[in-house]
């Protein structure tokens, strides 16, 4: 059992000096980063393309290769006890045989890695979601045989929305297994959309990524996917994109223009579904985090850093400094909620 998380042996890792131990009012908090990327060089070589979204070569974590010392040093300095690794999908356009092999290599590699570093790392599995039946089988194997508790997917798949009926077998399996589904956006818009995001400012990422998440979550709500699979545990990157910032508009669309909406879909006001999902804390300011908590509930937020991309340098302090939230809420965001959600081992002395 590797990324099984509950099978962790808690083997001491790294040095104890220089490791920041986070506490609130003297009570030690075991912190968890749910948004941290890695790459598997062997899988990238099979795909004959660069390792997916791993940042700069000097900070990226390449499993079974390089970057571990730097990664642990950064975690120690930032006060992050456990990082939950994921690989951004760059295999949604390849054939079934290659996708099968790539996913096997990646999941086996992450399992081996996590087994060796169980006190500091866990991981989301990968699946070949362009073949939903295969993805469902891969997820089942990852959860039942390899001990994963969740899976990372993109915000859309080879031009198809996640709410497309072709993905129902995958969603059904994720619900059945109780697997957390981490939705991470990547550039996948139409050419016309991508063209509008060209120019200064890296808008394809700065605006495009949160927009991709906003679109993905909105389709899952408005097409009835979340009605059909009410037990899904969805975790959205980057604070859920723009959606929680302006979510009440979603409640007013079908009221204002009922002819534009299907009867009985969704069954509940759209914002009700947002309060059932989880979000990482990547919203940058205490005011942003306060607002996200006010809209979706503090118990729906978990810490994310996007490592090795240096969007944030003090992810723990961002949460500690959001003093509009009480001690219990901040402790939950720093680690308690992710520990519960992902079935991490509860270590009382750190």
Which spans of this chain sit near Zn ion (rule: CB under 5 A)?
306
Measured from the CB atom, the residue of 229 and 279 that comes closer to Zn ion is 279
Between CA 110 and CA 36 the distance in angstroms is 13
| Smallest separation (angstroms) from Zn ion to the CB of 38 | 11
- Structure-token pair, residue 317: 């302090």
Q: Cis check for the bond before 308: say yes or no (omega within 30 of 0).
A: yes
312 vs 319, which CB is nearer to Zn ion? 312
Closest CB 314 distance from Zn ion, rounded Å: 17
Output the smallest distance, CB 124 to Zn ion, in A: 12
Q: Which residues contact 32 (CB under 8 A, 6 or more apart)?
A: 80, 81, 82, 83, 84, 302, 303, 334, 335, 338, 339, 342, 344
Q: Compute the least distance from the CB of residue 37 to Zn ion, in Å.
A: 6
Minimum CB separation of residue 278 from Zn ion in Å reads 15
The least CB distance from residue 282 to Zn ion, in Å, is: 8
- CB of 163 or CB of 305, closer to Zn ion: 305
- The answer for residues whose C-beta is within 8 angstroms of residue 117's C-beta and 6 or more apart is 11, 13, 68
d(CA 138, CA 100): 9
The residue (of 13 and 205) whose beta carbon lies closer to Zn ion is 205
Task: Verify cis geometry, omega within 30 degrees of 0, for the bond prior to 309.
Answer: no
Is the Cβ of residue 212 or residue 306 nearer to Zn ion in the bound state?
A: 306
Question: What's the closest the beta carbon of residue 208 comes to Zn ion, in angstroms?
Answer: 13
Number of Cα atoms under 13 Å in the Cβ half of residue 256: 6
User: For the sheet containing 121-123, what is the strand order?
Assistant: 32-37, 82-86, 121-123
The CB-nearest residue to Zn ion is 306
Q: Using the minimum distance from each CB to Zn ion, give the nearer residue, 81 or 306.
A: 306
Give, in order, the Cα–Cα distances in Å from 51 to each of 38, 46, 250. Answer: 9, 10, 37
Handedness of CA 202, 244, 126, 339 (dihedral sign): positive
Tokens of 54: 């791993």
* Rounded Cα–Cα distance for residues 158 and 165 (Å): 14
Shortest distance, CB of residue 126 to Zn ion, whole angstroms? 14
Q: Which is nearer to Zn ion, 151 or 177 (CB)?
A: 151
- The residue among 295 and 306 lying less far from Zn ion, judged by its C-beta, is 306
Which spans in the chain are helix H? 41-47, 68-78, 96-116, 132-144, 168-177, 191-196, 203-206, 208-222, 225-228, 248-256, 270-274, 286-296, 315-320, 327-331, 337-342
Residue nearer to Zn ion on the CB measure, 32 or 134: 32
- Supply the minimum distance, in Å, between the C-beta of residue 306 and Zn ion: 4
């Amino acid at each position: 059992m590797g990324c099984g998380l509950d099978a962790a042996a808690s083997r001491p890792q790294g040095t104890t000096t220089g490791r920041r131990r986070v506490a609130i009012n003297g009570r030690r908090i075991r912190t968890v980063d749910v948004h941290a990327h890695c790459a598997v060089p062997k899988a990238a070589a099979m795909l004959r393309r660069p390792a997916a979204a791993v940042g700069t070569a000097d900070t990226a974590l390449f499993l079974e290769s390089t970057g571990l010392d730097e990664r642990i040093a950064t975690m120690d300095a930032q006060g992050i006890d456990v990082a939950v690794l994921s690989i951004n999908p760059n295999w949604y356009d390849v054939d079934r045989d290659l996708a099968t092999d790539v996913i096997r290599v990646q999941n086996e590699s992450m399992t081996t890695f996590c087994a060796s570093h169980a006190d500091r790392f866990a991981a989301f599995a990968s699946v070949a979601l362009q073949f939903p039946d295969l993805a469902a089988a891969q997820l089942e194997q990852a959860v039942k045989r390899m001990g994963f508790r969740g899976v990372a997917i993109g915000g859309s798949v080879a031009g198809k929305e996640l709410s497309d009926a072709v993905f129902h077998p995958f969603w059904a399996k994720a619900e059945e297994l109780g697997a957390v589904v981490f939705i991470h956006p990547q550039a996948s818009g139409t050419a016309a959309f991508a063209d509008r995001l060209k120019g200064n400012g890296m808008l394809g990422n700065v605006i495009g990524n949160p927009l991709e998440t906003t679109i993905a979550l909105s389709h899952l709500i408005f097409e009835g996917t979340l009605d059909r699979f009410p037990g899904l545990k969805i975790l959205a990157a980057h604070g859920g994109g723009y959606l929680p910032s302006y979510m009440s508009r979603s409640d007013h669309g079908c009221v204002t223009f009922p002819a534009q909406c299907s009867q009985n879909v969704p069954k509940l006001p759209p914002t009700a579904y947002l309060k059932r999902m989880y979000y990482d804390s990547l919203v940058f300011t205490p005011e942003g985090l306060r607002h996200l908590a006010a809209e979706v509930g503090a118990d729906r937020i978990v810490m994310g850093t996007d490592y090795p991309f240096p969007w944030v340098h003090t992810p723990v302090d961002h949460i500690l400094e959001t003093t509009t939230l009480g001690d219990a809420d901040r402790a939950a965001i720093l680690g308690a909620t992710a520990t519960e959600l992902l079935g991490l081992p509860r270590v009382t002395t750190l």
